[in-house]
Amino acid sequence: MKNFKVIGVFLVISLFKVVSCDVSTFILSNKENIRLEGSLILNTQRIFIFKCSFIEVDENSFKTLTNLTDLTFSENLGVNRLPHKLFEKNIRLENLYLIRNNFSEVENDSFSSLPNLKHLDLSFNKLKELNKDLFQSNVMLMELLLQRNELEHLEEGIFDNLSQLKTIDLAFNKLKKITSNLFKFNYQLETVSLQGNKIKHLDHGIQHLNVKSFNLHSNPLEIENKKVFEIIKSLNSNDVKTGIHLHQHNKNKYEEEHILNSTNFLLITLILVTLLLSILVGYLIYIIKTSKNSNFKYHNMNRLSREDLVNDDVWEETEINSNLNRN
């Protein structure tokens, strides 16, 4: 009976009729030229709308769905942006999947009425920028998926209110730099993916991260002054147990530079040690020579003194004998 209700709703919605019935799950797929204008008057918790072609999606389309907890709106055509306040009345929404819709922009307050949102997937769209306050109200968000968009820059502070965030995927965008405090307040963060971006430099501000997986694979990382790898090393010291994936070219380049620097360090150390030993040996030779000269002088002085004493004794004896002979 429940399956019959689902199918019935499916057919009626396709014909743009007003529907009111008690169905927990609603599915709409592979339909063309749909105009979604608030006709979804359903007491439903889960909606799946995918692979459809839309003429229009009105901002009141989901307004009556106050019990909605899961919404999948994916792989649809004809919708290039999320309408203003589309989810304004869906305060119970926890899981929102907006995958492959070719969205080029998202309104600043698109998610402002979703305080219970836990999973948000905006992957495989054409988003180029995100407003700093876009996620300000989503304090319960645990997973944010933004991979395969066209993001070039992220405002510092955009994730500050996401204190429960555990996973963020920013892979395969066009990011060139990660700002110093981008994840500063994401204390629960466990997984970060920045794979396939255009990141050349890492800022020291990410050293505070204590994550399980930090993916930097396929980025054109530059290793001048070893800055990038010193930062990664600091991440390792913060119990990064898995998931630091570096482009093999960068890894080999770093290893070669590390070996070269180690060799140079050992060579310089050897030269300094040799120089110090030479100075020490020279000083010891000087001390020994000085000591020998002192001993020689002292010996000569003692010898001369003894000779003088002998001569004095001889003179005295001669003088005494001479006086005796006179007498």
Hey, CA dihedral for 202, 203, 204, 206, is it positive or negative?
A: negative
**Contact, 198 vs 174, CB < 8 A?**
yes
DSSP state letter for 25: E
Which residues is 27 bridged to in the sheet?
A: 48
Domains of the chain and any CATH numbers: 2-267 (3.80.10.10)
**60/36 Cα distance (integer angstroms):** 9
Neighbouring C-beta atoms of residue 64, cutoff 10 Å: 18
Residue linked to tokens 């005796």: 324
User: Which of residues 240 and 83 earns the better pLDDT score?
Assistant: 83
Give the residue-averaged pLDDT of 11-19. Answer: 38
Which residues is 53 bridged to in the sheet?
A: 77
DSSP state letter for 83: P
Write the pLDDT tens digit of every residue in 223-280: 655 666 677 766 654 544 333 444 444 555 555 666 667 777 888 888 988 988 888 8
**169/193 Cα distance (integer angstroms):** 5
Averaging pLDDT over each range in 60-64, 92-96, 181-185, 321-325, which range is the top one? 92-96
Which strand ranges, in their side-by-side order, compose the sheet holding 70-74? Answer: 25-29, 46-50, 70-74, 95-97, 119-121, 143-145, 167-169, 191-193, 213-215
Examine the pLDDT at 63 and tell me if it is beyond 90.
Answer: no
What token pair was written down for 12? 């009626």
Which range (4-13, 50-59, 305-314) has the least confidence? 4-13
Alpha helices in the chain (DSSP H): 2-14, 227-237, 248-326
Per-position DSSP letters for 233-258, written without gaps between them: HHHHHTT--S--B--HHHHHHHHHHH
**133/158 Cα distance (integer angstroms):** 6
* 325 Cβ neighbours under 8 A, 6+ residues apart: none
How much of the chain, in percent, has pLDDT values that exceed 90? 38
Write the pLDDT tens digit of every residue in 112-123: 999 999 999 999
**Contact, 234 vs 255, CB < 8 A?**
no
DSSP state letter for 101: S
**66/149 Cα distance (integer angstroms):** 30
**Integer CA distances (angstroms), 114 to 37, 88, 223, 273, 324, in order:** 21, 8, 42, 67, 137
pLDDT at position 58: 84
Element (H, E) at 26: strand 25-29
Give the residue-averaged pLDDT of 186-208. Answer: 87
Look over the chain and give the mean of its residue pLDDT values, rounded to a whole number.
Answer: 78
pLDDT at position 288: 81
**271/274 Cα distance (integer angstroms):** 5
What token pair was written down for 284? 């010891």
Tally of residues, the chain:
327
Q: Nearest CA to 194 among 221, 214, 167?
A: 214
User: Which of residues 174 and 81 earns the better pLDDT score?
Assistant: 174
User: Which of residues 290 and 155 earns the better pLDDT score?
Assistant: 155
What token pair was written down for 40? 């979804």
Neighbouring C-beta atoms of residue 111, cutoff 10 Å: 23
DSSP state letter for 207: G
